[in-house]
Each structure stands twice: as C-alpha cells, then as structure tokens.
Chain A
C-alpha cells in the first residue's frame, strides 16, 4: 500500500514539474515583455494563458526531421539525457517534510553527479549533429559546464559544513534558526552564478549563443527533440531555483499561516523570476571572459568561503 502511494506521488510530482516547465515558457515571455514595456502574449485565452497549450500543440505537430548527415543514434539519445538528468535530480528535492521522492543521505552529491550527466547532452548533441556550429557549441558547453561544476560543488560544501549532512532534509531542518544565505552569502552568490552557467541560461548561454553560433548545439534539432532541450532548460531553471530555496532559503520553512508547500513554491518562483530578470538585463559575456571569471575569481572565492566557514565552525566547536 505504501508503495502505491509512493508511486502515485512520484507521478504527481513528475506531472507538476512538467506543467511548471511548460508554463515557464509563458511566464518567461510574459515577464520579459513586462520588463521591456510590452504586454507579451495576451491573445489566447484569459491573459494569454492558453499560449502554453498553443505552443505545445505547435511543437508536437512540427516535422521531426533527422538530417541525413548526423550520427543517428546519438542524435536521438542526446536530448533525452538532459531531461532525464534534471528529472532525476528532482528526486532528492524535499518539497515539504512529506512530499518528496526519496530521502537520500547523499542528496547533494547525487545532484552534482546528475548535473554532470547533463553536460553529456550538450556535448553529444553538438558532436552528433555533424555541423561545425553545433560542434563549437558542444565544445563550449563541455568546457563551461565542467569548469563551473568544480566550484558549484565547492560552494555547496559551506552549507554541508554548517548543516553537518549531505541530506537535503537535514539541511532544511538545520535552517530553523537562521537561513543559510546569511552566513553563506558568498556561497549563495557563487552557487547561483554556477547554476546560471550550468543550465546555460542567458547571460551564460554561450553553448547556444544565437548571434554567433546560430543555435549552437541544438542547431540541427527540430520538432519535439528541440522541445526536449527546451523543456530540459526550463526544468533546469526550476531545479536550480528549488535547490537554492532548499539549501540557502530554508526550503519549506516559513511562518505557519501558509502550508509548507506554498512557502516552497513561493521561494522557488521568486528565484525563477530572478533568472528571467537576469536574462532580461545582462548581455552575454565573451567566452574567455566567462572562463576567466570562473577560474580566476569564483573558484578562489569559493575555496576561501569554504576555508572561512570551516574555520568558524571549528572555532565554535572548540
């Protein structure tokens, strides 16, 4: 009986996540428009909400073309990897004390492993497309994601030190007194920037960079295969927002007048909006600027943050 409830919960979480990812297309277009003094899609249905449906119908009915020059098997597998990796990462997110797929005691490590898997999607898609722009995008994606992964992990260690656990539930429980973004403000900023790079969202969308690489690694993709990359990207945004909420902003914790799940979703959507605001504001850096920002600034900073956090915790124990 318990297993059945568990399976139903997994399916429900999956459905809600996919709905959120699809809805984010509308939210992003609308919010970008709002910040550019426009209205955005407001014709289909009330407030243009049916735009999501129209977009989905459109992308499902598009021709799903596999170019004759591609490496067919890898070309088909690549877009599924990003979706699988991101959806797997959602397994460890504790939405509330009760809602959540699995209570893994190495939750943070599992997330890091899965986000590394996501890099394969970009690399394989770029490589299998047999197109120089796609290959360039794939190479950039590989370099960017691998280098940003390093201090993404390192920036999380501060939280792990403070909470004394890799388990996300324990980390949330450890924030009852104070949310970790106050003692870990540096770690939070670094994690957020690394998250932007990891999901290759707009200021760091160097693997796809329309203006120089057409669409980068997914230049040859069409129809629902392209849609998978798209949904994967939006799921990635939701994942990073959910993780920032869990790790730094106390997850489901909040005053009692609202249920825990509402607190979680409010915080998560605030970060999703921040993602979109950053997209609306900042221009794309050059490739070498991104790399030097990562290796020369953020990596030393995250190491320093780790050192100071460790020293402070050690001093407290003495």
Chain B
C-alpha cells in the first residue's frame, strides 16, 4: 500500500522533469560523425574516384543492394562503370564501409531520404559520388599501391623501394 502511494508520488514528480522527446522536424537530433546513414562514394585528394571496383562491398552486403561493373581506363586504373545502390533495400549495416579497402564507400550522418516513389531510392553513381574525401583525408590508394595507373610510376611511392630487376645478377 505504502509502496503504491510512493510510486504514485514518484510518477507525479515526472511532471516537472525534462521531456525526453525531440520535436523532430523543428528540432534535429544530434547524430554522431560515425552515424550509419546514407552511403556515399568519396574521391581521393587528387579529385579522382577512390573506388577500384573490387566488388568487396557488393559481396559483403547482406541484402544485396549494391551492384556495380568494373572497367579500366587507358592507364590501367580500375573504376566502376556503373555503381548502383538500392536504398529501399539497404539496411545501413555499414558492412560495405568495413569491407572497402580504399575508403571509397562511406556512410554519413544523413537519414532523411523519404521518397514517394520507390524507384527514386535507387541511387546511381552520379548520385552517390561526392566531391570530397569523406571521413578519411589524404588517402589515395594508387599512391601506395604497387601498380602504375597513371598516378605514380612503379616503385615511386613514399614507402616503396625501386622495383628489382630479377634478371640482374648483382643484389
């Protein structure tokens, strides 16, 4: 009986507490920088696409909402011919970001993607590509990779030694 009266009093006191509700359209909630929202494709510091079309994101995706086709330019640099994410299927798990070896695919704190037409939720590469580097600055895969794709010559990387001529007799 006493405990019932006490809980009545405790509930009554909640009248003067701060409201938990965030009045959403007027008041935006705080989203941390690592919030998993809309997916973007980023560019490297030189303004080129980071994506090397390795298909790892598509393989990691549990709902198979990513589809892409790899191709190469005249320098041998790989890039996706098309890159398509169906956001009506995407569950924003972030596995694609985890799988990406070149920091190309990233999830950003934006969730306001409502559409009247489901077809409008299928984003093509030009919708996904942003002009910046996203969360990871200064990284360019082709600067540290061991291949020449028109960014640097083979062996020209900062931590890279000159290629060894395997036919030479001297060490």
Contact = CB atoms under 8 A, between A and B. Distances in A.
Are chains A and B native binding partners rather than an unrelated pairing? yes
Interface of A: 34-39, 277-278, 280-282
A292 to B, nearest CB: 15
19 contacts: A34-B14, A35-B11, A35-B15, A36-B14, A37-B17, A37-B18, A37-B19, A37-B21, A38-B19, A38-B21, A39-B19, A39-B23, A277-B8, A280-B11, A281-B7, A281-B8, A281-B10, A281-B11, A282-B7
Contact of A277 (B11, B17, B19, B23): B11
A37 B12 contact: no
Contacts of B7: 281-282
Contact of B20 (A37, A277, A278, A280): A37
Enumerate the 5 nearest inter-chain pairs by beta-carbon distance, A residue then B residue, closest first: A281-B11, A37-B20, A35-B14, A281-B8, A35-B11
Interface of B: 4, 7-8, 10-12, 14-15, 17-21, 23
A36 B8 CA distance: 12
A102 B7 CA distance: 40
Contacts of B8: 277-278, 281-282
A301 to B, nearest CB: 12
Contacts, number: 32
B90 to A, nearest CB: 30
B12 A38 contact: no
Contacts of A34: 14-15
Contacts of B11: 35, 277, 280-281
Contacts of A282: 4, 7-8
Contacts of B18: 37
Contacts of B20: 37-38
Contacts of A37: 14, 17-21
A282 B14 CA distance: 15
A277 B13 CA distance: 11
B6 to A, nearest CB: 10
A161 B144 CA distance: 97
Contacts of A38: 19-21
A38 B18 CA distance: 9
A236 to B, nearest CB: 21
Contacts of A280: 11
Contacts of A35: 11-12, 14-15
B71 to A, nearest CB: 51
Nearest to B6: A281
Residue among A277, A281, A282 with max Cβ neighbours from chain B (10 Å): A281
Nearest to A42: B23
A123 B123 CA distance: 58
Given A35-B12, A277-B11, A281-B4, 15 more contacts: A34-B15, A36-B14, A37-B14, A37-B17, A37-B20, A37-B21, A38-B19, A38-B20, A38-B21, A278-B8, A280-B11, A281-B7, A281-B8, A281-B11, A282-B4
Contacts of B19: 37-39
Contacts of A36: 14
A235 to B, nearest CB: 24
B21 to A, nearest CB: 5
B12 A277 contact: yes
A277 B20 CA distance: 19
A277 B4 CA distance: 12
A38 B4 CA distance: 22
